[in-house]
């Protein structure tokens, strides 16, 4: 909904990708989003300064806590996601740790999907141990696993819309119902889907986190992350005194009572971002906002290419276990139809029967796919976990992590599908010739 002179209109996703959060600059009229490269802001007068620090007025004080360029990105992402607001961070993992830190206390318990991005698994294990928060990992595919893991002190459920790299698709609505029955929020990492392919809040998720580093930016130039909140969770249900009670870290301010549906996000910004300090730089925010302008266009091409390549691999005898959830015979086909009708993302794995040796040769022969440890770039990317991120592991240990010695992970870019298929074909040929 929006207005020029009070007339309401529901603008479409493409319009919002280009415009949300970024009106022409009031001072200069600049049409592009200005990069406010400043650490701090001059106060109009002492009373305004006091009002800003007391949070009685929306005002800029210091760029560790807020910045107009970063705010434009935050509003754009929260608008596309359908949340009440967002807070940006220096990386996806910084966003996750801040989201956790804001709502958890020592002695709480979190249930998380075991199919998360490896860096998230490591983060949860180490971070929660240091915070004295209990952690249970569950296989996300069966709701009974989640249900069985719930405890009296469970304060959060956490999973990815599309798991990295296994491609598990989350039954968001069922999990949100389970969480809410336990008066607990559901947090979803929507990095692989982006709001163009899936909007977890439409299905009941309360908090959505992003690594903006991937598809949101799409250019692979910057590291960043965001937390978006729906404003619908009742933090005053008696289980989240850390959000609802007067805060000792902000002169006794009761964030949820004072700011209502904006309370969690105000606390996330005014306390957690202030204290953890992992702010996004204005320049990175500019690059991410620029990238978002083409998000729907890019995602359509990513998904079309991923489908074409998955089908190409599926038809070959020398590619096994193609994990793309968008394939018609995927065990996740039903969930894809419900949650990802525009496509199941562009990251997936397949196995080379020749193991580590074949994996190395395949990678070396590729021309267009960049061999690196990232996903979600406009450029196609590839990695062979057994010789890089997971090279210290034995074949048995790899198997436990769901990775084979010949597993290849692709992040399909927006080049011409025919060129990508040409590249993969000649890499398969190179294995044969060896």
Partner 1 sequence: MDLQRYQQPHVIQAALAQRRIAIVGLSSNQLRGSYFVGYYLRRHGYEIVPVNPREQEILGKKCYPSLSDVAEPVGVVCVFRAPAAVPAIAEEAIAMGAPYLWLQYTVISQEGADIAEAGGMQAIMDRCMKVEHARYRGRMHWLGFNTERISARRRLT
Which residues lie near partner 1 (CB under 8 A)? 1-4, 6-8, 11, 15-16, 19-21, 23-26, 29, 31, 51, 54-60, 66, 68, 70-72, 74-75, 78-79, 83-88, 246, 251-254, 257-262, 265-266, 269
Residue 412: name its binding partner from ligand PLP, partner 1, none (Cβ under 5 to 8 Å by kind): none
Q: Which is nearer to partner 1, 183 or 374 (CB)?
A: 183
Beta carbon nearer to partner 1, 295 or 313: 295
Among 77, 80, 93, 346, binds ligand PLP (CB under 6 A): 93
Site size toward ligand PLP, by CB under 6 A:
16
- Map residues 287-326 to x or -, x wherever contact with ligand PLP holds by CB under 6 A: ----------------------------------------
Per-residue HEC secondary structure of the chain comes to: CECCCCCCECCCHHHHHHHCCCCCCCCCCCCCCCCCCCCECCCCCHHHHHHHHCCCCCCCCECCCCCHHHHHHHHHHHHHHCCCEEEEECCHHHHHHHHHHHHCCCCCEEEEECCCCHHHHHHHHHHHHHCCCEEEEECCCCHHHHHHHCCCCEEEEEEECECCCCCCECCHHHHHHHHHHCCCCEEEECCCCHHHHCCHHHHCCCEEEEECCCCCCCCCCCCCEEEEECCCCCCCCCCCHHHHCEECCCCCEEHHHHHHHHHHHHHHHHHHHHHHCCCCCHHHHHHHHHHHCCHHHHHHHHHHHHHHHHHHHHCCCCCECCCCCCCCCCCCHHHHHHHCCCCCCCEEEEECCCHHHHHHHHHHHCCCCEECCCCCCCCCEEECHHHCCCCCCCHHHHHHCCCCCCEEEEECCCCCHHHHHHHHHHHHHHHHHC
Q: Which of 87, 124, 159, 223 binds ligand PLP (CB under 6 A)?
A: 223
Cβ proximity to partner 1, 259 vs 428, nearer residue: 259
- 189 forms part of the interface with ligand PLP (CB under 6 A): yes
To partner 1, the closest distance from the beta carbon of 54 in angstroms equals: 8
- Identify what 16 binds: partner 1, ligand PLP, none; CB under 5 to 8 Å per kind: partner 1
Select the residue whose beta carbon is closest to ligand PLP and give its number.
Answer: 92
Of positions 166, 167, 225, 413, contacts ligand PLP by CB under 6 A:
225
> Which partner from the list partner 1, ligand PLP, none does 211 bind, CB cut-off 5 to 8 Å by kind?
ligand PLP
State which of residues 92, 167, 218, 406 lies at the interface with ligand PLP (CB under 6 A).
92
Closest distance of CB 165 from ligand PLP, Å: 8
Separation between Cα atoms, residue 321 and residue 303, nearest integer Å: 19
Please say which residue, 31 or 342, places its beta carbon nearer to partner 1: 31
* Shorter beta-carbon distance to partner 1: residue 257 or 275: 257
Classify residue 324 as exposed, middle or buried by CB count within 10 Å of its CB (0-12, 13-18, 19+): buried
Interface stretch with ligand PLP, choices 117-125, 139-147, 251-259, 292-300 (CB under 6 A): 117-125
Choose, by CB under 6 A, the member of 211, 230, 284, 411 that binds ligand PLP. Answer: 211
Q: Which of 59, 119, 231, 402 lies at the binding interface for ligand PLP (CB under 6 A)? A: 119
Binding residues (CB under 6 A) for ligand PLP: these are 91-93, 117, 119-120, 160, 164, 189, 191-192, 211, 213, 223, 225, 375
């Amino acid at each position: 909904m929006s207005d020029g002179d009070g007339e309401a209109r529901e603008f479409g996703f493409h319009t919002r990708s280009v415009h949300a959060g970024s009106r022409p600059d009031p001072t200069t009229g600049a049409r592009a989003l200005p990069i406010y490269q400043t650490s701090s802001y001059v106060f109009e007068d002492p009373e305004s300064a006091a009002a800003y620090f007391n949070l009685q007025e929306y005002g800029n004080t210091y760029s560790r806590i807020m910045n107009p360029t970063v705010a434009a990105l935050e509003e754009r992402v929260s608008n596309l996601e359908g949340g009440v607001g967002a807070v940006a961070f220096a990386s996806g993992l910084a966003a996750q740790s801040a989201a956790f830190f804001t709502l958890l206390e020592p002695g709480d318990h979190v249930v998380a999907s075991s199919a998360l991005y490896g860096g998230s698994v490591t983060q949860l294990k180490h971070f929660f141990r240091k915070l004295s928060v209990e952690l249970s990992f569950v296989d996300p595919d069966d709701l009974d696993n989640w249900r069985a893991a719930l405890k009296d002190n469970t304060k959060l459920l956490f999973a990815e819309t599309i798991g990295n790299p296994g491609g598990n698709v989350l039954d968001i609505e069922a999990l949100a119902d389970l969480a809410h029955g336990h008066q607990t929020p559901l947090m979803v990492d929507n990095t692989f889907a982006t709001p163009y392919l899936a909007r977890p809040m439409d299905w009941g998720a309360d908090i959505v986190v992003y690594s903006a580093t991937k598809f949101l930016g799409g250019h692979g130039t910057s590291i960043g992350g965001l937390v978006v909140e729906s404003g619908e969770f009742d933090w005053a249900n008696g289980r989240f005194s850390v959000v609802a009670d007067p805060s000792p870290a902000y002169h006794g301010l009761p964030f949820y009572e004072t700011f209502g549906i904006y309370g969690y996000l105000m606390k996330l910004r005014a306390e957690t971002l202030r204290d953890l300090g992992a702010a996004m730089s204005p320049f990175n925010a500019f690059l991410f906002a620029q990238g978002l302008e083409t998000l729907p266009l890019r995602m359509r091409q990513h998904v079309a290419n991923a489908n074409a390549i998955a089908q190409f691999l599926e038809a070959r005898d020398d590619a096994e276990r193609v994990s793309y959830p968008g394939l018609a015979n995927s065990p996740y086909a039903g969930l894809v139809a419900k949650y990802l009708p525009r496509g199941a993302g562009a990251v997936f794995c397949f196995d080379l029967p020749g193991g580590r040796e074949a994996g190395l040769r395949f990678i070396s022969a590729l021309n267009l796919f960049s061999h690196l440890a990232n996903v979600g770039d406009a450029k196609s990317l590839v990695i062979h976990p057994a010789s890089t991120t997971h090279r210290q592991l034995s074949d048995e240990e790899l198997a436990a992590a769901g990775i084979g010695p010949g597993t290849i992970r692709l992040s399909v870019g927006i080049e011409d599908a025919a060129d990508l298929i040409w590249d993969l074909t000649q890499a398969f040929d190179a294995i044969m010739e060896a």
